Amino acid sequence: MGQNPFKKLERINVKIEKLAFGGAGIGYIKSEADTAKPEDAAKPMVVFVEDTVPGDEITAEIRKIKPNYLEAKLTEIVKPSAFRIEPRCKHFNICGGCSLQNLNYDEQLKIKENQVREALSHIGGIKDPPVLKIIGYTGGENGPWFYRNKMEFSFGTGGDGNATAGGNVTLGLHPKHYRYDVFQLEECFLENSDIGEMVRAIAEFMNEKDSGLLKTFTVREGKRTGERMVNLTVSDAPFLRQKEFVEMLTRSKKFKAPNSVYLTNQIIKKGHRTELIENLLFGEAFLKEKMMLQNGSTLEFEIFPQSFFQPNTLQAEILYQKVIDMGEIENGSVVYDLFCGTGTIGLFAAHRAGEVLGVDINESAIKNARANAEKNGIKNVKYYIGDVFKVITGRTDKPDVVIVDPPRAGLGDKLCGHLLEVRAPKIVYVSCNPGTLARDLKILCAGKYNLAGIQPVDMFPQTYHIETVCELKL
């Protein structure tokens, strides 16, 4: 393109065609100035506009001008999309969380499925990627709501991410694009219907008098057990109102009482790693949760304050079963579960596999994985701490299936190269980022793997996040 003909703060009319991964609406616009230069008129300019949905006809104000795209701020919805709905939560226009709440859920699913397809095609260079129909979240009578088993709320602040009790304390979530500001939460439809009442009660409690420097308040729930754990994180100064705090939480009639109450002191010293010291103030030391296997049996998990556990228990059961099915794990199979975390995928695989070897660099996660295996009486799993490919290099028990569930950044060139050296007959790749997944699949497919199937799973309704399971055959 030649010189960009658009100007900052210029008002433009746009129809939103689709959503970008991240939630912003995408439209296309061509300036009248383009017609004087045929080479400039060949391709319309891409425009990103937040707070819009596909089908919206809008006016917007240009805020950023880049060589290949514009960023604009919504000023008016001239004609709303047929897919646009009224958001359920009163905080929708402030909160940075459920950015798709104003979009019909069926349309959310179609968009996410297409985003996976487009990422694999455009970034991965995969022609006609074999993307299966996305698996949505039904949620029973609640529909696509109240699915999260963990929520962390922040205390508000004078701009440094901390709050001192006894002042004007707020407890809630961060507004869009703000790291430190916190709005007082009154309702939330992601974890449980009484969360707003609990959060408000804690803010009122902390406003009564000084109790030290407040950081966060975390609520965890067992979606299959009904248990609840809460954890108040403060600075290393003493929290003097422990007894009153526990009494307030356990005796209130406005919200469900927790089974466990923790106080965590966060100790930050320059030049040292942040230290978290957990103190159990009330109840059980862990939260019990269960997950259902396809054969009707259950796995039981003990979850501690810092344990990682998939935030959507019921949908994780479906996700993990897809991993087992795509891996075609059978009796006698040797399975490598890399980036295994607390071992949930490997434990799902264990009832079908001959042996499961789990590896993760996080010592705490491996400790938790071993405890979970022992609790469930599963003896055909072994867990190792360390760099995943250093641990498996030189092993003689070559895997039939390798399961990888890396962080959002994906595997990257080096780790994909290691996977190609292992040459397992099957790789099952679990991803939470279509962009990095597409980049990695491009490498793996160029290295003699065939992409046999891609299954998107909607783990986080009302948000732009997408989880995907991919089947690769050597």
pLDDT digits (tens, 9 = 90+) for 259-284: 999 999 999 888 888 889 999 999 99
State the CB neighbour count (10 A cutoff) for residue 47.
25
In the three-class reduction of DSSP (H, G, I as helix; E, B as strand; rest coil), residue 375 is classed as helix
Q: Are residues 279 and 293 in the same domain?
A: no
Looking at the structure, do residues 184 and 252 belong to the same domain, yes or no?
A: yes
**Same structural domain for residues 388 and 334?**
yes
Per-residue pLDDT, 167: 64
Q: Are residues 454 and 411 in the same domain?
A: yes
Q: Quick one: pLDDT at residue 372?
A: 93
CB of 219 closer than 8 Å to CB of 228: yes
Q: Can you list the alpha helix ranges (DSSP code H) found in 187-332?
A: 195-208, 242-251, 313-327
Mark residue 179 as left, alpha or beta (left: phi above 0; alpha: psi -120 to 50; beta: remaining). alpha
Q: Which helix (H) or strand (E) holds 399?
A: none
Look at residue 1 in the predicted model and tell me its pLDDT.
46
Check whether residue 131 and residue 198 sit in a common domain: no
Residues 304 and 375 both lie in one domain: yes
- Distance set, CA 237 to CA 245, 265, 282, 395 (Å): 16, 8, 20, 49
Cα dihedral: 313, 317, 320, 326 (round 10): -150
Give the burial string for 278-293 (b: 16+ CB within 10 Å, else e): eebbbbeebbbbebeb
Tally of structural domains, the chain: 3
Does residue 369 lie within any of the structural domains? yes
Instruction: For residues 346 and 448, state if they share a domain.
Output: yes
Q: Of 222, 466, 453, 425, which Cα lies nearest the Cα of 322?
A: 453
Q: Dump strand ranges (E) for 259-391.
A: 260-267, 275-283, 287-292, 298-303, 334-338, 355-360, 381-385
| 206 and 61 belong to one structural domain | no
Is 119 a domain residue?
yes
pTM (2 decimals)?
A: 0.90
Domain CATH for 241: 2.40.50.1070
Q: Same domain, yes or no, for 308 and 387?
A: yes
Q: Which pLDDT belongs to residue 168?
A: 83
CA distance 128 to 110: 17
The confidence score (pLDDT) of residue 211 equals: 60
Q: Are residues 168 and 242 in the same domain?
A: yes
| Residue 164: per-residue pLDDT | 62
Would you state the pLDDT for residue 343?
Answer: 92
Task: Domain of residue 79: give its range.
Answer: 1-83
Q: Which residues of the chain have pLDDT under 70?
A: 1-4, 31-42, 157-167, 209-212
- 188, 340, 416, 432: the catalytic one is 432
pLDDT for 212 equals 66
Helix (H, G, I), strand (E, B) or coil at 120: helix
**Annotation says 432 is catalytic:** yes
